[in-house]
Structure 1
Amino acid sequence: MAENYTDPSGNTAQFRAFVDSPEPAASAPAPSRLPLIAGVAVAAVVVVALVAWIALG
């Protein structure tokens, strides 16, 4: 840890600047899970079709 670290709660002005600063993680939207779900569904259909083809063949 750096030796010149100053606690943001050290005085009122620093604390208010710390509280009012936006969080970088909160502004990023979550990625869509639709492609993952569609890929798993297609893979499941292919596996079921392959098993049925082998069982009936």
Structure 2
Amino acid sequence: MKLEKLIDKHWAYIEALLRAQNENESTIKKIRFHYKTAFRHGWKHRGQKSGK
């Protein structure tokens, strides 16, 4: 599965939770940006040791 499709599937779940909690569109847009950006960033680091 391509990364963007994976991100979109995960985001769909999070978005549904936010909508169920009656979050407004502005908040959802902000969270969408941060969630997807963080997901991509984390994906780049998969498999790396945490350094602990």
TM-score normalised according to structure 1 size: 0.38
**Max Rg structure:** 1
Higher relative contact order (CA 8 A, sep 6+): 2
More helix per residue: 1 or 2? 2
